Amino acid sequence: MSTITLLTDFGVHDEYVGVMKGVILGVNPSARIVDITHHIDPQDILQAAYLIPSYCPYFSKGTVHIIVVDPGVGSDRAIIALEMTGQFFLAPDNGVLSLQLDSGTADSLVRIDKANFFLEPVSRTFHGRDIFAPVGAHISAGVDIQKMGTSIDIGQLVRLDIQKPRFNKRGELIGTIISIDRFGNLITNIRLNDVNQILRSQPETKLIIEIGKSRVQGISESYQGAESRNPLAIIGSRGYLEIAVNRDSAQDRLKLEKGDMVKLTSRQ
């Protein structure tokens, strides 16, 4: 049995996800389908782009990751299949794979264009059903992606302009809140490496994290690392710096939102 994951912005109130699963099982009855989430904000390519490298490493080789966050459905945007570290990614060519591509080396990359793998007639409104589902199912059944399209170069892909943390003139690291999870943890775009870079350049100093009107000192090892109701900083499960409040919501406590700034400095 091979696994297919689904990441979409379809929500779960309509029949769209169920229809995709029906099509997948029609092509590959032994496929095992895992929902990652269908609650990507409608057409929010960036949100999906950040999520992909967070779940892929936990799936086996051979897994097919279908991503349908696709505001350009029905236009001439391409659909691409990527083979990377033994897994497959099927997504619109709209930049949604930008961060995944940064995380390793592509083994194979095609623009999907062989209509014999599609569900005919192909609509111009629901490629999830008509292209992504059947093509993903064929990949999971062992069809070589090279047989389903035309090889392209990684340089030809649409890439998002991913805002990375940057150092300002005073040597402070400026990052951004990129996501807030269900617990109200504020997930930034700052990685452990970035933090270490500060600490290595200025040993014997203490890390200060400024976020909104709050100031946190040092990185905690766990959510219990601060007094109740006080914010703490922690390297979260995605590998990014998060601001959290033990047994409470940092989002509610600090009144911060996606896009808000976080500043890292060091003090002796």
CB nearer to a copy of itself: give 206 or 247.
247
On the 0-12 / 13-18 / 19+ scale of CB atoms within 10 A, 72 is middle
Nearer residue to a copy of itself within complex by CB, 75 or 196: 75
Q: How far is CA 90 from CA 26, 79, 120, 131, 138, in A?
A: 18, 7, 19, 10, 11
DSSP-derived pairing of the beta strands 173-180 and 149-151: unpaired
**In the complex with a copy of itself, which residue's Cβ is closer, 79 or 109?**
79
Least spacing, CB of residue 218 vs a copy of itself, in Å: 15
Amino acid letter, residue 252: D
Least distance in angstroms from the C-beta of 174 to a copy of itself: 24
Residue identified by tokens 């589902």 is 133
CB of 87 to a copy of itself, least distance (A): 11
Q: Which of 130, 136, 127 has the alpha carbon at shortest distance from 118?
A: 130
Binding site for a copy of itself (CB under 8 A): 1, 3, 5, 9-19, 21-23, 25-26, 29-30, 32, 34-39, 42-43, 51, 54-55, 58-60, 63, 71-75, 123-126, 129, 181-184, 221-224, 234-237, 242, 247, 249
Cβ atoms < 10 Å from Cβ of 211: 23
Total residue length of the chain:
268
Q: In whole angstroms, how close is the CB of 126 to a copy of itself at the nearest point?
A: 4
- Residue 40 beta carbon to a copy of itself: minimum distance, rounded to whole angstroms: 9
Closer Cβ to a copy of itself, 5 or 98, answer by number: 5
Residue placing its CB nearer to a copy of itself in the complex, 50 or 109: 50
Query: Cis (ω within 30 of 0) for the bond into 121?
Result: yes
Q: How far is the CB of 210 from a copy of itself (least distance, A)?
A: 22
In contact, 61 and 22? CB cutoff 8 Å: no
Burial class (CB in 10 A: 0-12, 13-18, 19+), 183: middle
Comparing CB distances to a copy of itself, the nearer of 11 and 104 is 11
> How many CB atoms are closer than 10 A to CB 113?
12
3 state DSSP class of 228: coil
Which C-beta is closer to a copy of itself: that of 61 or that of 200?
A: 61
Residue 57 CB contacts under 8 Å (≥ 6 apart), including other chains: none
**Closest approach of Cβ 215 to a copy of itself, in Å?**
22
Q: Phi and psi at residue 247, in whole multiples of 5°?
A: 55, 30
Neighbours of 172 (CB within 10 A): 15
